[in-house]
Amino acid sequence: MKRFLRAGAFFVLVLLAWHYGALYAVKKGWLSPVLAPDPLSVGQYICGAFRDGSMTTAIWVTFRRLLVGYSLGLVIGLPLGLLTAQFKAFRDTIGLVALGLQTLPSVCWVPLALLWFQQSEKAMFFVVIMGSLWSVLIATETGVRNMPPIYVRAARTMGSRGLHTWIKVILPASLPFLVSGMKQGWAFAWRSLMAAEIYVTILTGDGLGRLLHYGRELLAMDQVLGVMIVIVLIGLMADKILFAPCERFLHRRWGLI
Amino acid sequence: MIASNSVQAELQNVQPVKLVVEQVSKKFRSGGRHSHDVQALQNINLQVDEGEYVCLVGRSGCGKTTLLNVIAGLEKPDSGRILVDGKPVTEPGRDRMVMFQEAALFPWLDVLSNVLFGLRLKPNLTEADRIEVANFYLKMIGLEKFRHSNIHELSGGMKQRVALARALAPNPRVLLMDEPFGALDALTREQLYGDIQDIWLRRRKTIVFVTHNVREAVCLGDRVLVFSPNPGRIVEEYRIDLPRPRDINSVSLAEYSVAITRCLKGYGEDREVAE
């Protein structure tokens, strides 16, 4: 309760500082009134955008791209990571490629995606997949290779073999690495998708990044700030809903800090 | 609650089994530029009778753990073979359960699920049966109250007791123990000597127990075999004719351990330097 009040008080202070800061900047002539909206008008924009549906549509479009792209990234990255950990042939080939491509900022995939898939959803899926795939792959490989081999030996004496060992021992044993890799993959995917949406028009739908871009074109600072706030909130929610439970589980079971 | 027939059958102690090690040799290639072979095991012959408790003592690196792994089926010998009840060992099996130096419990499972792991791989049991069997062993080791604890919340001694329950749960005929008490403090260890003797008397298993602690070996074993390193071989055998349960601090036990320690020193590395 005390923490809640403290956080609340802090945000009220931030809003007040923003409000008076904006007023002051306009009065001094540092910013035109158009470029310094007060918090209330930004709030009004957000409410309005939700009411007329433009925000909900944009959130849904962006969210779908993330969900599909990220899931595919996991579905491809996880088994590839397992193979890379298990077989030298994969490590010397796919593993090397993954290591290299992980250093490539994923927004660099956008031009290629546009040329291949034109301005379609597929292009966005592709960018998100390329953003998340490599981190997931590398984290899976690291997790499996850092697993104490005694777990597998113990499981083998109890009669575990093949697929059972992979699913019941090797995967759960590398869970701490998997979760951090999935989190990193998510972060890369989210960032690259926003960048792509801002600088490319996708004909099949306008995401949050596009809404942000229109805000700039229309000189609507309340829209720019409003969309930014929504993007931050979505990022926070993803962390709290998707990853926080996993991390709590790890903390409870493993006793990890 | 009346236990179902399958649980009754499952909890019935199986007949312990005769274990034969025949002419087993194994070499390891040590890495590095000046690689040379280490003869971990050389022509090991050993017979462990049904329900016998045999301890292997020796310095670290003398090959005793390798022998245990070969018996477990986790490693293949270069030559020779292991016979369990007359059948050669080719791979790990539930008839030979292993207790490792580190507890090797799975941190992603709670205590009960760890004990259930081996049971869940046994067909012909319902889930309810398995839980009943697991609880039986948890009670035996005195940790039934901790069945839903996480592994990291247990002390070292508790972890080894859970590992013992996990090894006993699939009802193996041979128990292979690799310095299971090595990492524990002396007091916890002494308590576990009592527990393990008690459990062994109640659930007769053929046990091969590896340790470098001579007193521990004398306290627990019917027979103590002395291992000498490089090449790894059995050099001496002592039959321990002391009544059970034995107390590690008793004087009669000390007489044996003095003799065995002297023997061990004779085959130590200092002797090799002298040669």
Beta-carbon-side half-sphere exposure of residue B139 (alpha carbons within 13 Å): 6
Average pLDDT over residues B149-168: 91
How far does B123 lie from chain A, in Å, by closest CA? 11
- Using a pLDDT cut of 70, give the percent of chain A over it: 100
SS3 B84: strand
Cα–Cα distance list, A120 to A108, A124, A132, A200 (Å): 17, 7, 19, 10
Contact indicator for A182, A243 with CB cutoff of 8 Å: yes
Q: Which two tokens stand for residue B112?
A: 């009960």
pTM for this one?
Answer: 0.81
Chain A residues closer than 8 Å to B150 by CB: 252-255
A153-185 per-position pLDDT tens digit: 999 999 899 899 999 999 999 988 888 889 988
Q: Which residue of A has its CA nearest to B114?
A: A155
Mean pLDDT, chain B, integer:
86
* Cα B164 from Cα B190, distance rounded (Å): 16
| Mean pLDDT across B134-143 | 90
CB A141 within 8 A of CB A84: yes
Three-state DSSP at B25 gives strand
- One DSSP character per residue, B26-72 reads EEEE--STT--EEEEEEEEEEEE-TT-EEEEE--TTSSHHHHHHHHH
A39-254, superfamily in CATH? Answer: MetI-like (1.10.3720.10)
What percentage of chain B has pLDDT greater than the value 90? 36
**Window 191-250 of B, Cβ < 8 Å to A:** none
**Dihedral of CA A121/A123/A125/A127: which sign?**
negative
Q: Do B121 and A169 touch (CB under 8 A)?
A: no
Q: What is the mean pLDDT of residues A17-42?
A: 88
Q: Which domains does chain B have, with CATH numbers?
A: 17-106+173-274 (3.40.50.300)
- Kindly tell me if the per-residue pLDDT of B272 is higher than 50: no
Q: How much is the pLDDT for B162?
A: 93
B72 and A CB contact within 8 Å: yes
Q: Tokens 């909890």, residue?
A: B11
Contact with chain A for residue B137, Cβ under 8 A: no
The arithmetic mean of pLDDT across residues B219-246, rounded, is 88
> Between A and B, how many residue pairs show a Cβ–Cβ distance under 8 A?
68
Percent of chain A with pLDDT over 90: 42
**Mean pLDDT confidence for A37-48:** 90
What whole-number distance in Å separates Cα of residue B179 and Cα of residue B58? 11
Q: Please report residues of B whose CB lies closer than 8 A to that of A254.
A: 107-108, 150, 152
Instruction: Please give the ipTM for the structure prediction.
Output: 0.86
How far is the CA of A129 from the CAs of A53, A97, A136, A190, in angstroms?
28, 15, 10, 11
